[in-house]
Chains A and B, each alone.
Chain A
Amino acid sequence: MRIACLLVPDLPLRAELRVHPELKGLPLAITSGRDSRAEVLAVSPEALSAGVRAQSFVSHARAICPELRVRVASPAADRAAREALLDIALSCSPRAASAPRCMGVFAAEAGVFLDATGMTSLFHSEQGFATALGARAKALGLPGTVAIACSRTVAQLAARAAPGHEIRVLPPGSEARFLSPLPIDLLDPEDRLAQTLTRFGVRTVRDLLRLPQRALAQRLGPEILRLIAQARGKEQETPLPRPTETHFREATDLDYAADRLEPLLFALRALLSRLMERLELRGLACGSLELQLRLSDGGQDSRGIGIAAPTRDGRVLLRLLALALEGKPPGAPIEGLALCIEGRPLRSDQLDLFRPRGPDPAVLDETLAELESLCGTGRVGAPAVADDHRPDAFAMKPFRLRPRTHDASHHRSGASEAPFASGLAVRAMRPPVAAQVWVHRGRPERLRSAVANGRVVRSAGPWRTTGRWWAEEGRFALDHYDVQVSDGTLLRLCFDWIAREWRIDAVYD
């Protein structure tokens, strides 16, 4: 078993630079809070060369470097960066897991383990695999150290010990030789245990392994046994999982509450760009999109954006977001944004020789969103026959491109030459048109309405339809007539027994 570890030693800094790339090259410190006694979590190389150190106070750092830029660590950016690390790992290996979070000296560290077994068949050598992994991490704005060893612990230690952003590959059997000279601090022991070992004069792994194990456990507790197992590189580890999670999230906090569309689109464009990079790494596309807005009045606005087919076209997704915000503006200025994407495999549509090519799914999404913004929600889609006894019932469902299924009932070769060319269609009246009807011997005799006026020449019916009698709302009792009026109109006349009124709900056309 070979395990690779990708370690980013200054994740809060990298997470902030992912969101605000304009801060690159400036002396920058990421802190735990806004007050002067907040702790510096990570510093940029420029701030480091100016003398600013991590785990110092902000006030001290500002005193050392007056032009220091101070930013508070963003939990959302931190979480997104850790997830991006996992995406990088999964782009190279099917089995990967995030390293547990550390405390103390290594609190700013973030790592990910991945199964490197058999990678030589893809990358020629473990060195090549580690180089590719490091390059992908750097491309995503998360440069780190890569180490490959026989276990997670040894790989993590090797990555911690490697200076700069180096690559270190430990051949099998060389773990003990590598671990011996390492300082105990790299094992990240508890503070109390570290102080005790320092008093004993134990400074390196070699020193620790020389001591009798049982005696140490009796004096210092079972925690020392875990440390010894780590030092030997033989800590019991669970197998790396094969993650199936395809949920991606990126978030950002705005510097000031935005109430216009342009600054929101600017921020959304950056979020989409990072999400598309991550999707591309995993070989997925955006299957569904959700926009979450944090409003200045403390409220939340969450809206789903429908997508016809998985796409990686950021321009189309940005247009859909713009149309959604234009069509339904939020109720208050926006302080924070988050985009959640459900990744799905990019669908490749195999063209049919005998079927006309339909609209491009990406363009169709944009078109549907624009049509909906023009006509209103729920007024654009594919029609469907409602499972309802009311004659005027109908349904609409989202318009999706579906492959053609061969259905004999729809197949008719050539044009119809039968005695009846076609069926007589009905044109619905929405809303139904009120009518004044004179009735003679239970049958309509004359009619006056906005649609037709005159004497009823012929009529058929009534056909009675009732339903939902068990409910307070929605119950109906209708009598329908097919009526031909003297002005030539053929219509479907209806008497509503509940409302006690006549109306025309359809015309034969």
Chain B
Amino acid sequence: MVPSPPSGPAPSALVQGLIQDPARPARRLEKLLADLGPQIRRIQGDDLGVGEPLRCCPTGLAQIDRLLGGGIPRGRLSEISGTLSSGRTSLALALLASTTRNGACTALVDRADGFDPRSAEMAGVDLDRVLWVRALGWREALRCTERLLETEGFPLVLLDMPPSVEKAGRDARGSTCWLRLARSVAQTQAALVVLSPQRLAGSHAEIVLEMQPTRARFSGTPALLEEFETQAVLVRHRSAPVGPTTSLRLRAHLSAA
């Protein structure tokens, strides 16, 4: 029994044909593809680059690199999220140290204005190879990030969002900015890493690593902050199973002042 066409605007010729001859839709589809001709391209399975390994920026932390499958992928947007005192800044500085140690230049778009050169130097970052951009507003930060991605020669670009959840969320309201950034970085060989208090990039991020603080240890007399332990959870990975975690122990530097 042929179903009656739905009410509304008249269906196209193809749809009408399918309705009249529903038993041979594959033949109709082939005819349509032939009519479209050069406007479409038949993609074979290997054209998708499935399984093609992405170049990575190693973080310098073996546990994290193992978790991520080599490091932060280049040509993709990645996100490291976590609340204050979750260890995301320490992880970011380790990534900067690893990249600058190899002689590469890096860029940090500091929307949060929280970069501490002394702390970075202690982490092993070559400060001469870091371009620090202290953006005043979100639009400026976005434009600066895009400009740095257009300028070839920075294999790592960090975008540090404000630590306040409300402020970061206000900045990044709407997903078009993340889509723009994801598309911009896809045309480059750079790795774009967003540091955020909560997940902001959504599905536009290739990798999302969530930092969850575990404990802080004070010891000695008088008491001194000795170490800090945090857990890194892989909550999103486009081409690997999610869920694995790894623990990081961070040593506090002796002088706080």
Contacts and interface: CB of A to CB of B under 8 A. Distances in A.
Nearest to B151: A367
A371 B135 CA distance: 9
A44 B85 CA distance: 78
B11 interface: no
A498 to B, nearest CB: 16
B199 to A, nearest CB: 17
Taking each of B84, B249, B252, which has the highest tally of chain A beta carbons within 10 Å of its own beta carbon? B84
B72 interface: no
Given A356-B104, A394-B117, A424-B250, 15 more contacts: A355-B104, A359-B152, A374-B144, A375-B133, A385-B127, A404-B103, A411-B101, A412-B124, A415-B98, A416-B61, A420-B227, A421-B250, A423-B123, A508-B85, A508-B225
Contacts, number: 235
Contacts of B89: 425-427, 509
13 contacts: A358-B105, A364-B151, A385-B117, A391-B118, A411-B101, A415-B65, A421-B62, A421-B249, A423-B119, A423-B251, A425-B92, A428-B114, A509-B84
B75 interface: no
Contact of B134 (A375, A411, A417): A375
B60 interface: yes
A419 interface: yes
Interface stretch (B22-30, B45-53, B174-182, B215-223): B215-223
A429 to B, nearest CB: 7
Interface in A370-386: 370-371, 374-376, 379-386
A380 B130 contact: no
Interface of B: 58-65, 83-94, 98, 101-105, 112-124, 126-136, 140, 143-144, 147-148, 150-155, 163-164, 213, 216, 218, 222-225, 227-228, 248-253, 255-257
A470 interface: no
Given A379-B136, A415-B59, A507-B85, A484 B120 contact: no
B131 A399 contact: yes
A255 interface: no
A370 B145 CA distance: 12
A210 to B, nearest CB: 76
Taking each of A451, A458, A465, A488, which has the highest tally of chain B beta carbons within 10 Å of its own beta carbon? A488
B90 A357 contact: no
A382 B127 contact: yes
Interface string A484-495: 100011111000
Nearest to A429: B114
B120 to A, nearest CB: 7
Contacts of A352: 103
A391 B153 contact: no
A489 B216 CA distance: 10
B163 A507 contact: yes
A200 interface: no
Given A358-B153, A363-B151, A375-B135, A484 B118 contact: no
A500 interface: no
B144 to A, nearest CB: 5
A142 B147 CA distance: 42
B152 A360 contact: yes
A347 to B, nearest CB: 16
Taking each of B94, B124, B132, B257, which has the highest tally of chain A beta carbons within 10 Å of its own beta carbon? B257
B105 A488 contact: no
Interface residues of A, number: 75
A489 B136 contact: no
Given A415-B59, A422-B90, A374 B252 contact: no
A461 interface: yes
B255 to A, nearest CB: 7
Interface of A: 352, 354-360, 363-364, 367-368, 370-371, 374-376, 379-386, 391, 394-396, 399-402, 404, 410-412, 414-417, 419-430, 450-452, 458-461, 463, 465, 478, 480, 482, 484, 488-492, 506-509
A402 B128 CA distance: 8
A459 B92 CA distance: 26
Nearest to B247: A421
A323 to B, nearest CB: 12
Return the 5 tightest CB-CB contacts between A and B, nearest first.
A359-B153, A509-B89, A355-B103, A383-B117, A415-B62
Contacts of B91: 422
B147 A367 contact: yes
Contacts of B58: 415
Contacts of A384: 117, 127
B83 A410 contact: no
Taking each of A360, A423, A491, which has the highest tally of chain B beta carbons within 10 Å of its own beta carbon? A423
Contact of A460 (B61, B147, B218): B218
Contacts of A404: 103
A471 B153 CA distance: 45
Contact of A422 (B94, B130, B147): B94
B101 A509 contact: no
A378 to B, nearest CB: 9
A478 B257 contact: yes
A425 B130 contact: no
Contacts of A482: 218, 224-225, 252, 256
Contact of A424 (B62, B90, B124, B144): B90
A327 to B, nearest CB: 13
Taking each of A399, A417, A450, A508, which has the highest tally of chain B beta carbons within 10 Å of its own beta carbon? A508
B129 to A, nearest CB: 8
A82 B114 CA distance: 54
A463 B90 CA distance: 23
B152 A509 contact: no
B116 A428 contact: yes
Contact of B256 (A402, A417, A492): A492
B230 to A, nearest CB: 9
Taking each of A374, A384, A425, which has the highest tally of chain B beta carbons within 10 Å of its own beta carbon? A425
Nearest to A391: B257
A379 B61 CA distance: 30
A357 B127 contact: no
Contacts of B140: 374-375
